[in-house]
Structure 1
Amino acid sequence: MAGDEVSDLDKNRALVDWLRYRLRQAESRVRELEVAERQERARVERARAERSWKIQPQRSNESALLHRGGCGLFTEPMGYISRQDAVVALAQPEIEPCPVCAPETDLDP
């Protein structure tokens, strides 16, 4: 039955349609994985911030403040410091602990 054969053109059109379908699926999966990766990076950064401290620079006649890394009272992009550095900073007379996040509670020996 020669009339029932599928032509090479029709086979290739079907292949192109299938490949486009698979490409859309792959692109969708890539977008999902990118979102998951961004969320994981944000989670890791939040966890790192919670284990760190940061110093808010002194303003006019106020003291500098030591904050926990995740404190929302001081959110300017600054580097985090280690526990040891936070202990040293808190011993300085010009640096006080933040009254909101109370960073000194995690610095007790």
Structure 2
Amino acid sequence: MPDPSQISRLDKLRITREYLAYQLQRTDTAIRELAAQEKQNRHRAEQARADQGWKIQPKRGEAPPILHRGGCATYKAKDGMLLDRGQARLAATHETYVVMCEICTPLASFAFSSSVCSRVAAASGDRQGSGCSREIASVRGGRPGRQD
């Protein structure tokens, strides 16, 4: 290696420039990676928020409105159109014309009494209420348990 005192000022500036270009490249790579990671984290947080909510698919023609879990892919709600647990429970129990999605089974997230099940079953056309009983059993880990 040559003696540092023997390197010209021009060569020193070229070496410095090369080193700074290397540092800039590493910094740009780190920025891209962090930006991608933040985007992925935001997407995960939005997905987790959606999974915790519920949404109602509007009535289409003669078909009644359908209650879905927030993460159900059969219906994409507009941003900010998610219901909280209380609103979804109210829609499921008091709105007799709302039917439950058969794919995401939103009833599984509630522990309903048998009287509520009969109203929901009647509204969805399940005369025996067996679907609701299965939902209650799934909420309780496969154990039917007590139903009021």
| TM-score in terms of structure 2 length | 0.68
8 Å CA contact retained: 2:55, 2:77:
no
* Count of residue pairs brought into register by the alignment: 107
Q: Secondary structure at the match of 1:55?
A: strand
- Structure 1 CA distance, aligned partners of 2:100 and 2:68? 7
More strand by share: 1
Q: What are the ranges of 5 or more consecutive residues in structure 2 without an aligned counterpart?
A: 113-148
Q: What are the ranges of 5 or more consecutive residues in structure 1 without an aligned counterpart?
A: none
- Structure 1 CA distance, aligned partners of 2:87 and 2:110? 10
The corresponding residue for 1:61 is: 62
- Structure 2 CA distance, aligned partners of 1:53 and 1:76? 10
Larger RCO, structures 1/2 (Cα 8 Å, 6+ apart): 1
- Cα offset for 1:76? 4.0
The corresponding residue for 1:19 is: 20
The corresponding residue for 1:105 is: 108
- Structure 2 CA distance, aligned partners of 1:45 and 1:105? 22
- Structure 2 CA distance, aligned partners of 1:76 and 1:92? 19
Q: Secondary structure at the match of 2:45?
A: helix
Identity of aligned residues (%): 35
- Structure 2 CA distance, aligned partners of 1:41 and 1:53? 20
Q: Is the counterpart of residue 88 in structure 1 residue 69 in structure 2?
A: no
- Cα offset for 1:38? 0.9
Alignment of 1:37-52 (within 5 A): 37-52=38-53
- Structure 1 CA distance, aligned partners of 2:82 and 2:17? 52
- Structure 2 CA distance, aligned partners of 1:63 and 1:108? 23
RMSD across aligned positions (CA): 1.6
Runs of 4+ in 1 over 3 A off after TM superposition: none
Output one character per residue of 1:17-61: Cα deviation in whole Å (capped at 9) or x when no partner: 100000000000111111111111111111111111011001010
